[in-house]
Amino acid sequence: MTASPAIPTPAAKIFVAALIALAGFCFSTANAQQCLNSSQTGNNNGYWYSFWTDGGGSVNFCLQGGGRYTSQWSNVGNWVGGKGWQTGARRNVNYSGSFNPSGNAYLALYGWTTNPLVEYYIVDNWGTYRPPGGQGYMGTVFSDGGTYDVYRTQRVNAPCITGNSCTFYQYWSVRQQKRTGGTITTGNHFDGWAAYGMNLGTHNYQIMATEGYQSSGSSDITVSDGGSSSSSSSSSSSSSSSSSSGGGGNKTIVVRARGTVGGESITLRVNNNYVATWTLGTSMQNYTASTSLSGGITVNYTNDNGNHDVQVDYIQVNGQTRQSEQQSYNTGLYANGRCGGGGYSEWMHCNGAIGYGNTP
């Protein structure tokens, strides 16, 4: 995270923890708990657990029966721990308990994927700092009775699950109203993210985590698997849920684009709100929409597959031409060995977006 006082990514915590020999258990036979005082991962009562601490302050992380864990921390530097699954999935995650931070902390469903390498958070509660600080806002997803703000941020040369110097995106869903307990329908978030061009890869672990950063507090969390997750979400980029919210108005936008194979899908958004979606052919064509929305204009490529690519020649906003190759914001261009590695191009080889500045 780049905003202050952001909690440093737990990526290193889990990677390092996996390399540390199991040690530091203290056992309490009275309640069959296992309390950890050194970083480690493993299996406990049918659940995968992960615990990491930088050694600052004091933290007592205890594995209880089933999917339950408890924690108490005081004046820590940074720590994170939780229970869940060694392999993430589209599952309905049920959880309950208590979360009582004094200072900076998260309560979140947390996980990783590879190919692409992505670190993701679905944050239901937090302390004095609301992650990720406001940068990288993409829109919203509605799920499980609440609205989540969606963000995409990037880490460069940072620790991750595959090494110590990685470049990767972080995907965030942050609930607008805090809660502790309920169901997290992961498929709603995964589908909502995909509508913004934020695709996941092959799942690594997935845990319901407590994290503390330069703070004190306690938590008592029980997690369980509620079964596979089907989508019932709505996002501001979804044509089925928001097709009337951004269409129609006094601003006319023309997008001149083509696909390399045909069937590529692009979505026009203003201020992260859906305006129109088109399916491209292989020859340059003009696609026109009108809107009353104001704010930043993006053209988003949303269904990358194999050798499918998108070329956007330009857009016109009320007759004013804005050339794609003059725009610095392009998260779909493959350059410098990665998606989103450059700008100033007509091309999107990956799911992503070209930004064209604000509406008049």
Active site residues: 119, 211
What DSSP state is assigned to residue 64? -
CA distance 215 to 20: 25
Residue 211: which of 123, 136, 133, 138 has the closest Cα?
Answer: 123
CB 337 within 8 A of CB 350: no
- Reduce the secondary structure of 260-306 to three states and give it as a string: CCCCCEEEEEECCEEEEEEECCCCCEEEEEEECCCCEEEEEECCCCC
Question: What tokens appear for 253 in the block?
Answer: 């936008």
Instruction: Count Cα neighbours of 79 within 13 Å in the Cβ-side half-sphere.
Output: 30
What DSSP state is assigned to residue 186? H
